[in-house]
Chain A
Amino acid sequence: MPITLETRQVTKMFGGLTAVDSVDLVIAEQSIASIIGPNGAGKTTLFNCISGFYKPEKGQVLFMGTPIQGLATDAIAHLGMSRTYQNIRLFSNMTAMENILVGQYPHLKNGWMDAILRHKRYNREETASIAEAKRLLDFVDLTNLGDNLARNLPYGAQRRLEIARALANKPKLLLLDEPTAGMNPQETDEMTTFIQNLRDQLGMTILLIEHDMRVVMGISQQITVLDYGVKIAEGTPKEIQSNPRVIEAYLGPGAAQLSERFRKQKRHLHENA
């Protein structure tokens, strides 16, 4: 299966602190991969290294086989990578439609001279992009909210709009940073289905950071666990769930045995009942 994203020994340091330490990652096309880990494990830093906000000190990031480490963020976006943010970053004083239109930026060709002249090609492209933006609005269930300012939208709608903006770039790889943060269980379920649809309907590759284990375990083909910047485990949801190092990273040393004992007791109770 072709590989969309690969990182090789990516390392990012802040002063003396190694936020991401020699992380290897391989993500296959049309898959959903997750990065999990306790707070401060370097998940978002890794995202920032991939999307070009940070330049890693060491290592390589390969996107569709091309090395992209050190490339500017906008250049990476042009190659077909989009992302969302942990704390929503919309263009708050623009309308929802405009946010999506900005997301289409890499595909459009009109320059400022075209905008002043407004010739046929300009109008054609503008009409097409507005139609496309409306389609995306419908896709993320924001029909009829397109002319509202982004900051006036409710929280869930803002999350979806941010994803729509990312989708407008027609990305081959979508990075989602905690897409269900601050959502209630029902909204979370909807978001989970939505992410699955992105892969199944649009054939996208998705890498997400997520804290909600129900979401992670439910939709990921592959999970990577980071702790103190180091990759401590990788595998399918099943493998990760029973990995003692992961449990210890989350709950502290000795937790793995405890949880094993707890599981046994529970099984015991079930058998008795």
Chain B
Amino acid sequence: MSANRLSIPLQTSRNIAQVARRVAGILVVIYFVWRFYTVVIAGAAYGPDTWVRFAISGLILGGMYALIAIGYTLVYGILFMINFAHGEVMMIGAFGGYFVFEILNAIKMPGASDPALSLLNAFPIPSIILAFIVGMSASAASGFFLEKIAYRPLRNAPRLVPLICAIGASIFLQNAAQLLFGPQRRNYTNPFILERGTGWTILVAGNPVIITYTGVFSFVMSILLMVGLYMLVQHTRLGRAMRAVAQDKKTAALMGIDVNAVISQSFIISGVLAGAAGVMLGIHQGIVYYYIGFIPGIKAFTAAVLGGIGNIPGAMVGGLFLGIIESMGPAALGIDFQLKDVIAFTILVLVLIFRPSGILGETLSEEKI
């Protein structure tokens, strides 16, 4: 029968693809294990103190990735759209904090015994709070206007259209920032109490490891913000509305939820988190310029996919996981440190091949056929 003849090659070709994927997966795992063994265990390239340093910097970086990743996941869960410009939203927040510190540092404290004492160092904690408020508001505002101007008119367009629009917005914001603030890298002026490179020293295997104040500060901040967001989404009216809209926009609208307002609010929340991440990135890494949003943006998206897109706890886990892998991975696998950016992308590809729904699984509304 002709039907039989046709179906068998089609079916087997698909089976072969599946088997090939499994074999490739096993090979990849074997390769990683082998590299890990030769470098870490047989080679003993680094002492335990170095590993602790890698782990700490990974956690700090991971916290920031997680904050940005939440923004991607929130928007993707609701609009099924990668908000490409999200990294740029973070960059705007970083600039907001930068200018607060700069201005406060330029104004000298009148009547102080030390004439060089600036407002920034006279009132360090209010300054930091102000920097966060300004950075978060700048990012929230840019997220809000981005959605309103660029994405809202395309709500019902085919999916390619808003995606291209988001890429355009990303390029626009990046280059506008370059034209506004110049292409040079700028140093973040921290208050003395958060001086970069200073911190508590602990001894690991007899070697000192510095746990920086900026690092601890960033990590604690990101955990607090994540907990806050989780509470917001799980236990408030707004959170309920957001979850409802993510499930089914039409039904949510029928239940009296203002869908447009909820979408705006989720862009604002994403912006707030990204802005905080931006200021933290500035404080911790000390450099701000127009391009700082791009690579972290892509990595945070990777983190969101890694955790399962649409899934908020997934984004948090994915972010921390990615941060740690990125800082420990090159050492563990014996790869050149120049190539650490490659790791994130490789992970993205591997996750998409072997487990496209991420670690914790996607939570997207059922798309009807």
Residues of A participating in the B interface, judged by any CB pair closer than 8 Å: 14, 48, 53, 63-66, 68, 71-72, 75, 78-80
Contacts and interface: CB of A to CB of B under 8 A. Distances in A.
Given A68-B7, A78-B6, A79-B3, A14 B366 contact: yes
18 contacts: A48-B369, A64-B1, A64-B3, A65-B3, A66-B1, A66-B3, A66-B4, A66-B7, A68-B7, A71-B7, A71-B11, A72-B14, A75-B6, A75-B10, A75-B11, A78-B6, A79-B3, A79-B6
- For the residues of B in contact with A, the DSSP-based class is helix
Contacts of B14: 72
Interface of B: 1, 3-4, 6-7, 10-11, 14, 366, 369
Nearest to B9: A75
Given A14-B366, A71-B11, A75-B11, A65 B6 contact: no
B279 to A, nearest CB: 41
Contacts of B1: 64-66
Given A14-B366, A53-B369, A71 B10 contact: yes
A63 B6 CA distance: 13
Nearest to B14: A72
Query: Nearest 9 A-B pairs (CB), nearest first?
Result: A75-B10, A66-B3, A79-B3, A53-B369, A64-B3, A66-B4, A78-B6, A66-B7, A48-B369
A242 to B, nearest CB: 35
Given A48-B369, A53-B369, A63 B10 contact: no
Given A14-B366, A71-B7, 11 more contacts: A53-B369, A64-B1, A64-B3, A66-B3, A71-B10, A71-B11, A75-B6, A78-B6, A78-B10, A79-B3, A79-B6
Given A63-B3, A66-B4, A80-B3, A72 B366 contact: no
Contacts of A75: 6-7, 10-11
A155 to B, nearest CB: 19
Contacts of B366: 14
Nearest to A78: B6
A137 to B, nearest CB: 27
A80 B14 CA distance: 20
A121 to B, nearest CB: 21
Nearest to A48: B369
Nearest to B369: A53
Nearest to B8: A66
Contacts of A65: 1, 3
B134 to A, nearest CB: 45
A66 B10 CA distance: 14
Nearest to A68: B7
Given A64-B1, A65-B1, A66-B1, A79 B7 contact: yes
Nearest to B11: A71
A65 B1 CA distance: 9
A14 B369 CA distance: 14
B248 to A, nearest CB: 14
Contacts of A14: 366
Contacts of B3: 63-66, 79-80
| Most B-side CB within 10 Å, residue of A48, A66, A78 | A66
A66 B4 CA distance: 7
Nearest to A53: B369
A143 B56 CA distance: 72
A53 B1 CA distance: 24
A71 B1 CA distance: 17
Contacts of B10: 71-72, 75, 78
